[in-house]
Amino acid sequence: MLTLFLTLGHGLANADTTKRGEITGGVAHSAPDWFKESFLEIADDVDEANDSGKHVLLFFQLNGCPYCDRMLSEIFEADPLMSYIQEHFDVIAINVRGDREIAFNEELSTTEKKLSEQLNVWATPGIIFLDTNNKPVVRVDGYRSPDRFKHILRYVADKTYKQQKLATYLQQELKTNVYSLRPNELFSELTDLSSVSGPLAVIFEDSQCHDCVEFHQHTLADEAVIKELKKFTILRLDASSKAPLVDVDGNTTTPAEWASQLQMTYRPGVALFADGKLLRRYDSLLFRHHFKEGFRWISSGSYKKEDYPTYSARRTEELLAAGENIDLSR
pTM, rounded to two decimals = 0.85
Backbone angles phi, psi at 37, to 5 degrees: -85, 90
Q: Is residue 249 part of a domain?
A: yes
Spatial contact of 161 and 138, defined as CB atoms under 8 Å apart: yes
Peptide bond into 255 cis (omega under 30): no
CB count in 10 Å sphere of residue 306? 14
> Could you tell me if 98 and 67 lie in one domain?
yes
> Could you tell me if 194 and 309 lie in one domain?
yes
The b-or-e profile of 41-58 (16+ CB within 10 A means b, else e) is bbeebbeebbeeebbbbb
Q: How does pLDDT run along the chain (330 residues), one tens digit per residue? A: 334 433 444 444 454 578 999 999 998 899 999 999 999 999 999 999 999 999 999 999 998 999 999 999 999 999 999 999 999 999 999 999 999 999 998 889 999 999 999 999 988 999 999 999 999 999 999 999 999 999 999 999 999 999 999 988 998 999 889 999 999 999 999 999 999 999 999 999 999 999 999 999 999 999 999 999 999 999 999 999 999 999 999 999 999 999 999 988 899 999 999 999 999 999 998 999 999 999 999 999 999 999 998 999 999 999 999 999 999 998
Q: Is residue 36 part of a domain?
A: no
Gap between the terminal Cα atoms of the chain: 29
Distance in angstroms (rounded) separating the CA atoms of residues 314 and 260: 33
> Could you tell me if 254 and 299 lie in one domain?
yes
Backbone angles phi, psi at 276, to 5 degrees: 75, 10
> Could you tell me if 216 and 102 lie in one domain?
no
Name the residue range of residue 262's domain.
Answer: 187-327
